[in-house]
Amino acid sequence: MRRAMLIAAMGLMVLGTGCPEVYGKGGKLDQAMEMDLKAMQEERRRELKGREQELDDEEEGHCPEGKVEVRDCTSLPCKVECQ
């Protein structure tokens, strides 16, 4: 009986601990997740940079020279007038 319990306990220790180089802190899964997060952050950074450029392009050249652009954003979309 004790031998069966010992074998079962050893089996659980071997199978239940997992591989530390894969599942442990700093293991392969952590490294893969870190790479994925960096890729998503870089993609988001590029997306925001592109959006900023679009906004800058939209702001330029709406009004003729000598007039000032006035935005009314009390409701969406904002109303833009040249005065």
Greater model confidence, 48 or 37: 37
Tens of pLDDT, residues 40-66 = 999 999 988 888 777 666 655 567 777
Query: Tokens standing for 80?
Result: 């833009």
- The first and second tokens of residue 35, run together, are 């790479």
Q: What is the pLDDT of residues 1-22, one digit of tens each?
A: 888 888 888 877 776 667 778 8
Distance CA 71, CA 75 (A): 11
**What mean pLDDT comes out for the span 19-29?**
83
